Amino acid sequence: MPRRARLNVEPLEARITPVAGALDPSFSGDGVVTQDLAGYYQTGAQDVVVQADGKVVVAGTAKLLETSYPAVFRYNTDGSLDTTFGLNGVGVLTVPSGTGDFYSVALQADGKIVASGTGRIGGNYQALVARLNADGSPDTSFGTNGITLVDASPGDDNGFAVAIQADGKVVATGNAQPNPTFASYRTLILRLTTDGVLDPTFDGDGVALLTVGPLAKAVLVQSDGKIVVAGGQALPSSGAFVLARVNVDGTPDTTFGTNGSVSTSPGGMYFDEIRDAVLLPDGSILAAGVAGVGSSYRPTPILLKYTTAGALDSTFGTSGVVATVLPHNGGSFEAVALQDDGKIVAAGGIGIPGGGNAIVARFTAEGQLDTTFGAPGATALPGAAMTDLAPNDNDGYSGVAVSPDGRIVAAGGAGGGSVRRLAVARYDSVDLPAVAAADEYAVDRYATLTVAAPGVLANDSRPGGAAITIVVTRWPDHGTLVLDQSGGFTYTPDADFVGTDSFEYRLDNGLPSDPAVVTLVVRPVAAPPITGVSSPAANGVYGVGTRIPITVRFAAPVTVAGAPTLALATGTGAVASYVGGSGTNTLTFAYTVAAGDNTPDLDYAGPFALALNGGTIRDAAGTDVPLVLADPGAPGSLGAANGIAIETPVISLTASSNEVDESGQASLVYIFNRTGATTDPLTVTFYVSGSAAFGTDYTQTGADSFGPATGTVTFPAGSSTATVSIDPLADELFEYDESVVLSLTPPAGYVPPGSFRAFGPALVVSPAYATARSAAATGGFANGTGAATLRLSGGTAEYDPGTGRTTFTFTVRLNRAVAGGFTVAYTTNDGSAVAGSDYTDNDGTLTFAGTAGETHTITVAVAGNRTGQPDETFSVALGELSGNTAPQLAAITKLGSPQTATILSSPVNVTAVADLGRAGLWRVTPGGWARLTAANVEGAAVSADGRAVVADFGAGGLRRWTANAGWALLSTANAQQFAMSRDGRTVVADFGGAGLWRWVAIGGWTRLATGDAEAVRVSANGETVVADLGRAGLKRWASGRWSVLLAANPEAVAASGDGRVVVADLGRSGLWRWEAGTGWSRLTTANVEGFALSADGTTVVADFGAGGLRRRTTIGGWAVLSRGNVERVVVSADGGTVVADFGPGGLRRWTPAGGWVVLTPANVQNVAVSRDGRAVLADFGPGGLRGFDGRWVALSPVDPEGIWVG
């Protein structure tokens, strides 16, 4: 009987309440796209149209340096750039010998795009009309390479608006300057044939110059073929709204207005201008623009409606005019569009203190503001939506369109000055039904599928102003469904079900959507897996003798035979023993804390910690169940579910100093510390030894009892520290230094320091003297009240080339005053390091004034160490004393001399290139860093020996660097992708529409294919190329010709270093391997999430998602390396080393001999590995670039944008 669950809300209303005029969150996440374009510092939008498929086409400008290029951008319905259009979503046109801008755009019925604007040739402006194919490439059948430039007058000409006639001819309007010496313009209308040449049937030469104007900003083609243009007329101290209409042949239409034109100047309005216009279904004309109103000429958005004869329509607004009073500094309407219901949408800008906002307003067909439009509380004017595209800057829309589903799309600019960017926004409309789209999910048998919000709503369309109700119209037949208002849900299949289940739902925002089917695929699993481990014990700290229950949950009931155990990570090999639960899906284990067990977060010892010990755990069918646990700390593990700390009490003893004398501290302090769960009062017995005598050389304070051999000290309740102080008595001159040693035996229940709590080292005084006892601390007294010591220290420092430290510093300290001062000599001496090549010899003297506590330093410069050399040492020693009387000098004792310093070998034996962003492109070798260029590159590759680098400089072209010759330009074109051979002598580059090309050091460029490649791989010697050519399939180029490896388009592809082995991910068809001479063989039917191929072609490592990370060689099948979920994986050239990023589980390296080793627990952002797998480079984000070859070394504090290993 199928189990069903109702929605856990009532009524079933999602908390999504789209409002007419609210930004549409399904468009770029927040409703707004502001467009940056690689290589261009500024973008702009002037007009927008929406295709029948909902894609958004924007016409405007892309500016590089001081050069403007006309550009068309196309966006998918989700707001992302449509990468099938132009170059990554942008079609940028080059004006021959000039620059330009697009101001208007229109769509042809066949999907081609026509845009108009201005082309600048030298100092002359010409009207520009261009046509692009549906894929964004220039339509070479139109004009010259897709562009027509019209020089209509001796002065400057502009094409501000464009329209397409029913017969496919193109009409554009703007203005022209008949006399270049006067700033006087006339309205320009031109018509082009379908192939982009001036149409001689229009006014005789395709060009009409009207006496009205000085310009037209809109052009409309009526159903009878007549053409209407709209703009502004200059009048003394005023202005006028202007319309003109011409016949099909370009002559003025005398039936319209006065001799074909209309000039309107409403009272109280000045500097009037129409910026856009549309034809209404009845042939009347609706115009939008701006006028200065009142004595202050306040900019005010204006709507006007004209009859078919050119008269103002008195039924619209006030005598045909609507003036919209905006708050703040006024504004304008730059564009207008119509909804299917006859409502009017106008877009433009509004001035606000400190800048401007973009505005979209909606009016009824009669010219009244539609107060149902605009997000409540988010607008200062009911009926309008105001959007701050760039805070504290000038924003505004210059184009608006209504999409086929009724949503409103506006385009314009965000920001001002040199940082202005194109902006596109989409707003919800009203009275539109939501659209529910089908979904498909998969889940393993026994598991529960959990889909987070927005879940089923993620790909649904949700316009409208009403709350959305989710209605389940059909429940699943083979499982339990819980669906909440956010679209998220859980589905648990019946334990005995494997196959396809489904449910249906619809959306209701006042209008019901069609139902959508959600398909649920339940995959077979051999036996119920472990679904989680936890403990009912409360979080906290537990001590010796505590019994902690632990539960292990399976996806279905299991039967236990024998006594299984669960190994725990306590540092002592502790286990939890089986208690019960056989026949259910939950087994209970118990663990009793023993002395020595310690962990801050109790967890099991690893993914295979559950041991059968000769018994069995089986499902209802008698099949052995998999006993693989989640990685410790991962979701579902014991450590992830609880915060249980195990801490056995530990006691330790340290001393605060190693000597006291008249110039030092007054006493020696011995510190007893205890840690752990026990806080009761505690008395500890300690033992006293050493050469100093109690009562003669020292006394004590702080102990409960103290004698020549033993004493006690008590920890108060709740205290973790107790102290005993040793106070010196007089010491005789020239008597040997004397010591006091305290040691202890841990009380019952306490663990001595060592494995879990290290104690401080034994403290010594001169002459060299050490006491080594468990939990012991030593102090002593310097001899004689007149003696002085001169101590040399600093030899524990180590030079590391990764830290940038280039000097050693040694310190010489005088402990007590010496009257008259003195001089001490010092020398540097070779060990395995050699002066001159490894460090700089430094022999000299130090002069002391004789002040107590006086210090001097000795510095030694270090040149570094090369990879392959061992760590090397040198020493610094104190020599003769001089500058005082012999008795005074004889009383000074030299301590710590000589001191040894270690120069570490460079730990990262790898050659690579790193893009450090604004810091430029750098090359790292075992010898250090070298900057190749200060430019910010878009990609790079490096040869095996590091002596050749190829980099994509974006607009600066593709360039190659060699150690001998520096940089050389390979191509001025911007490559979409490229690859270089390991010897650095061959480059293969994909130049998009220009095809796939190959460059060799001797011979230059040759084209390999005309198609645009999706992936390119090149062999080590450059003689073989493997390319995914999209619909043309996967191909291999060798011996000068192509061969088809696969007609399908793979999801990912890799090739061996010699190009004779190819591995391709074919999605649901599985992972396949091709070898020259053998052909294709399927490696697995599973759909992998990622894979890596060794350079020798023998080894594949693949991420099977929930199936874990697996490795396969040519002589064996798949072997599971880890059940953890990896984020990225790389493999050495011979396949013997695997480096995987486990995200929160850290970066790990696997070898057949040693298994997994954690290199770092940090979550890295990128990783690369040397060919032999020994050296690893990792991007630690803010932690910079680091290298590992036995230990981590900081290579650069800058977060790299890319890493490429030779």
> Residue 792 belongs to a domain with what CATH number?
2.60.40.2030
Contact between 1172 and 1162 (Cβ < 8 Å): no
Do 802 and 858 fall within a single domain?
Answer: yes
Question: Over the range 974-1001, which residues count as b (16 or more CB within 10 Å of their CB) and which as e?
Answer: bbbbbbbbbbbbbbbbbbbeeebbbbee
Do 547 and 627 fall within a single domain?
Answer: yes
What does the DSSP assignment read for 1110-1125? EEEETTS-EEEEESSP
Collect all residues with Cβ–Cβ distance below 8 Å to 970 and sequence separation of at least 6.
950, 957, 958, 959, 960, 987, 989, 999, 1005
**pLDDT at residue number 785:** 40
Per-residue tokens: 1116: 């064996």
pTM > 0.85: no
Question: What is the rounded CA–CA span in Å between residue 87 and residue 85?
Answer: 6
**pLDDT at residue number 1047:** 73
Write the CA distances from 899 to 318, 695, 808, 836, 1055, integer angstroms. 97, 37, 11, 19, 54
Contact between 519 and 439 (Cβ < 8 Å): yes
DSSP state of 512: B
What is the greatest pairwise CA distance in the chain? 129
Write the CA distances from 483 to 10, 446, 456, 514, integer angstroms. 12, 19, 9, 18
Per-residue tokens: 66: 């001081």
What is the Cα Rg of the chain in Å? Answer: 41
Question: What is the rounded CA–CA span in Å between residue 1180 and residue 1198?
Answer: 9
DSSP state of 955: G
In a domain, 2, yes or no: no
Of 618, 646, 674, the position where a domain reaches its end is 646
Per-residue tokens: 961: 């660097």
Omega of the bond prior to 767 within 30 degrees of 0, cis?
yes
Do 548 and 472 fall within a single domain?
Answer: no
In a domain, 1100, yes or no: no
In a domain, 503, yes or no: yes
**pLDDT at residue number 656:** 60
Do 603 and 656 fall within a single domain?
Answer: no
Which segments of 615-701 are extended strands (E)?
A: 616-618, 644-647, 650-655, 668-675, 682-689, 698-701
Contact between 895 and 812 (Cβ < 8 Å): no
Do 553 and 451 fall within a single domain?
Answer: no
Positive or negative, the CA dihedral 866, 868, 871, 877 is negative
In a domain, 516, yes or no: yes
Do 509 and 591 fall within a single domain?
Answer: no
DSSP state of 890: H
Strands 855-861, 807-814: pairing is antiparallel
Structural domain range at position 593? 530-646
- Look at residues 184, 183, 189 and name the one whose alpha carbon lies nearest to residue 251: 189
**pLDDT at residue number 66:** 65
Q: Is 255 strand, coil or helix? A: coil
In a domain, 658, yes or no: yes
Contact between 770 and 670 (Cβ < 8 Å): no
Q: Is 1030 strand, coil or helix? A: helix
In a domain, 353, yes or no: no
Do 843 and 866 fall within a single domain?
Answer: yes
> Residue 641 belongs to a domain with what CATH number?
2.60.40
CB-CB neighbours of 764 under 10 Å: 18
In a domain, 559, yes or no: yes
Mean pLDDT for back-to-back runs of 10 residues, the chain (1206 residues)? 32 42 86 78 88 95 79 95 92 86 96 96 91 95 94 91 97 91 85 96 94 88 96 71 95 94 86 93 95 83 95 94 86 94 94 84 94 65 86 86 93 74 86 81 89 91 67 93 92 89 89 90 85 89 86 92 92 90 95 83 87 90 84 86 75 63 53 71 78 72 78 84 72 53 70 35 26 36 56 60 61 86 94 83 93 88 59 86 88 82 66 80 73 84 87 87 86 86 89 84 82 83 86 84 81 89 86 86 85 90 86 84 82 86 83 82 83 81 76 73 81
> Which residues are registered as beta bridge partners of 1120?
1110
Of 903, 936, 965, the position where a domain reaches its end is 903
Question: What is the rounded CA–CA span in Å between residue 960 and residue 950?
Answer: 4
Question: What is the rounded CA–CA span in Å between residue 257 and residue 263?
Answer: 8
Q: What is the dihedral of CA 1087, 1088, 1090, 1093, to 10 degrees?
A: -110
**pLDDT at residue number 1175:** 81
Would you give the end-to-end CA distance of the chain in angstroms? Answer: 62
Question: What is the rounded CA–CA span in Å between residue 666 and residue 1027?
Answer: 79
Contact between 772 and 818 (Cβ < 8 Å): no
Q: For 356, what's the count of Cα atoms within 13 Å in the CB-facing half-sphere?
A: 22
Contact between 337 and 345 (Cβ < 8 Å): yes
In a domain, 1069, yes or no: no
Collect all residues with Cβ–Cβ distance below 8 Å to 160 and sequence separation of at least 6.
103, 104, 116, 117, 173, 174, 175, 215, 216, 217
Which residue is it, tokens 């920001």?
415
Question: Over the range 422-453, which residues count as b (16 or more CB within 10 Å of their CB) and which as e?
Answer: bbbbbbbbbbbbbbbbebeeebbbbbebebee
Per-residue tokens: 578: 């089986």
Q: What is the dihedral of CA 502, 507, 513, 517, to 10 degrees?
A: -10
How many folded domains does the chain comprise?
4
Which residue is it, tokens 């680091």?
1186
**pLDDT at residue number 757:** 26
Q: How many helices (H) and strands (E) does the chain have?
A: 2, 96
Amino acid in position 890: A
Do 494 and 547 fall within a single domain?
Answer: no
Question: What is the rounded CA–CA span in Å between residue 121 and residue 625?
Answer: 77
Collect all residues with Cβ–Cβ distance below 8 Å to 1136 and sequence separation of at least 6.
1099, 1151, 1152, 1173
Write the CA distances from 53 to 108, 656, 887, integer angstroms. 14, 78, 102
Do 892 and 792 fall within a single domain?
Answer: yes
> Which residues are registered as beta bridge partners of 351?
356
Write the CA distances from 377 to 22, 380, 427, 961, integer angstroms. 11, 8, 16, 59
Do 630 and 697 fall within a single domain?
Answer: no
Which segments of 912-1049 are extended strands (E)?
A: 912-915, 921-925, 928-933, 939-942, 948-952, 958-962, 966-971, 977-980, 986-990, 996-1000, 1004-1009, 1015-1018, 1024-1028, 1034-1038, 1041-1046
Q: For 836, what's the count of Cα atoms within 13 Å in the CB-facing half-sphere?
A: 1
Do 519 and 536 fall within a single domain?
Answer: no
Collect all residues with Cβ–Cβ distance below 8 Å to 717 and sequence separation of at least 6.
679, 680, 681
> Residue 516 belongs to a domain with what CATH number?
2.60.40.10
- Look at residues 280, 276, 233 and name the one whose alpha carbon lies nearest to residue 257: 233
Do 554 and 638 fall within a single domain?
Answer: yes
